[in-house]
Amino acid sequence: MGETPKITDPVEALAAARASFEDGDDFTVGVEEEFAILDRERLNMTAGFERFDAAARTGPLAGMVAGELIRSEVEVRTGRCESFPEAAETMARRRLDLLDVADRLGYRLSATGTHPFARWQDQEVIDTPHYHLVESTLRYVAWRNNTFGIHVHTGIRGADRAIAVNNALRSVLPELLAASCSSPWLEGRHTHLQSTRTQIFTRFFPRCGVPDAFDGWGEYDRFVRFLIATRSIREHTEIWWSVRPHQAFPTVEVRICDAQPEFSRAVALAGLMTALSAHYARGFDEGRPLPAHPHRMIEENMWRAIRWGMTGELIDLDAGVAVPARARLEALVDEVGEVAADLGIGPYLSGLSEPTSAEVYGAEFEAGATVEEVWPRAVERTRESVVEWLSVREEGTG
């Protein structure tokens, strides 16, 4: 969700962010994965971040583990990677290293958008200045946000260019969400939503979900200054849009996707987000028209993605017709084919051909399984899937 800015004055941070974008590098990649910390017996959420933090201060995870809102959550980061293949390999190693720490500490980890039965009332807010600020401002809204996602940062050089990419990505947020749905449960119930996480997070938090389009960095700058001047925010990390220019790094950050138990899908989603960002940046350079759909139309697709995910239909916003969600996803993959090949992303996108986790779990519920019966398998896949992915990679290079 955010971190305490290095520059404490928010106006100074805004000016520094613009300068950082102007000097930035194109198409670097950074990925953040969020996990629930679980006890080994019931696989319920349990406070444990401080132990993870202490255990990861040295070794391969040094500087790459972060806390989020609650003590029963841990985030692992790739850090800046110069290419997508580097990011993919780093994602795998980071996840496996974090799982190894969990084993040593006596915990399990899960990577789904929500936990199926943990009570929000039992979770404790992490002891950091940033998250105390979040809790003191949002109260119940913050307490209810026991959700887990995957965030992808793509380096974009140029402040106006970054805003143009951010604007274009707004239109495809529903497709990215539908392709990532992994949270059909909450509070012991099958919710019949494909992404309960999105309904809980983006519908509760202020300055969240689909942002407005901006005509350039200047208009974005004026809006952030308005938020600061009216004491709506105290730091830029209180802007939680599903896609945003990140002021601490010269990146555009896509934050719409549920966390992924299936590692191949996590990599594929990260690859698609990177490829889309690069595709729109190149389109801006070449003077091609970029997606520019009204907020109300994108929101209509967002609800479809939340409710039905890949099992339903999304609206082709250019044609104005509803089509199978899978057809919209396939169209996006085709659209970015050239840039994906150029950046070495193409081979990683195959993970998108498999059913989403929400589809798999939903089918089991429809067959009569309970949440408690399905959940252990989802936890197992958090580790099994990355081991399988690494094994395939090693066989391919052996």
Q: How far apart are CA 106 and CA 38, in angstroms?
A: 9
Contact status, residue 214 vs residue 220, Cβ threshold 8 Å: yes
What is the percent of the chain with per-residue pLDDT over 70, rounded to a whole number? Answer: 98
Q: Is residue 391's pLDDT more than 50? A: yes
- Quick: pLDDT tens for 245-297: 999 999 999 999 999 999 999 999 999 999 999 999 999 999 999 999 999 99
pTM confidence score = 0.96
Size of the chain, expressed as the number of residues it contains: 398
Q: Which helix (H) or strand (E) holds 167?
A: helix 159-170
Q: How far apart are CA 248 and CA 293, in angstroms?
A: 28
- Quick: pLDDT tens for 41-95: 999 999 999 999 999 999 999 999 999 999 999 999 999 999 999 999 999 999 9
- Quick: pLDDT tens for 307-317: 999 999 999 99
User: What mean pLDDT comes out for the span 164-185?
Assistant: 98
User: What mean pLDDT comes out for the span 109-135?
Assistant: 93
**Residue 110: which pLDDT band, with cuts at 50, 70 and 90?**
very high
Q: How far apart are CA 249 and CA 174, in angstroms?
A: 25
Q: Give the amino acid at 222.
A: R
Q: Is residue 368's pLDDT more than 60? A: yes
- Nearest-Å Rg of the Cα atoms of the chain is 20
- What average pLDDT is seen over the chain? 95
Contact status, residue 257 vs residue 270, Cβ threshold 8 Å: no
| Residue 116 or residue 3, greater confidence | 116
Sequence-distant (6+) residues with CB within 8 A of 39 are: 46, 107, 108
Query: What residue spans define the domains of the chain?
Result: 10-397
Q: Which pLDDT does position 311 carry in this prediction?
A: 97
Distance of CA 314 to the CA centre of its chain: 20
- Quick: pLDDT tens for 206-251: 999 999 999 999 999 999 999 999 999 998 889 999 999 999 999 9
Q: Is residue 181's pLDDT more than 90? A: yes
Q: Which pLDDT does position 394 carry in this prediction?
A: 80
Class of domain 10-397: alpha beta
User: What mean pLDDT comes out for the span 5-19?
Assistant: 86
Contact status, residue 14 vs residue 236, Cβ threshold 8 Å: yes
Q: Which pLDDT does position 130 carry in this prediction?
A: 83
Q: Is residue 199's pLDDT more than 90? A: yes
Q: Which pLDDT does position 398 carry in this prediction?
A: 53
Q: Is residue 395's pLDDT more than 60? A: yes
Q: Is residue 3's pLDDT more than 80? A: no
User: What mean pLDDT comes out for the span 320-327?
Assistant: 98
Which among 110, 166, 151 has a CA at the least distance from the CA of 3?
Answer: 151
Which among 365, 394, 391 has a CA at the least distance from the CA of 378?
Answer: 365
Q: At what angle do helices 159-170 and 10-22 cross, to 10 degrees?
A: 100
Sequence-distant (6+) residues with CB within 8 A of 287 are: none
**Residue 4: which pLDDT band, with cuts at 50, 70 and 90?**
very low
User: What mean pLDDT comes out for the span 92-100?
Assistant: 98
User: What mean pLDDT comes out for the span 348-352?
Assistant: 96
What is the percent of the chain with per-residue pLDDT over 90, rounded to a whole number? Answer: 91
Q: Give the amino acid at 380.
A: E
DSSP string of 188-242, one letter each residue: TEE-S-SBHHHHHHTTTSSSEESPPP-SSHHHHHHHHHHHHHTTS-SSGGG-EES
Q: Is residue 397's pLDDT more than 80? A: no
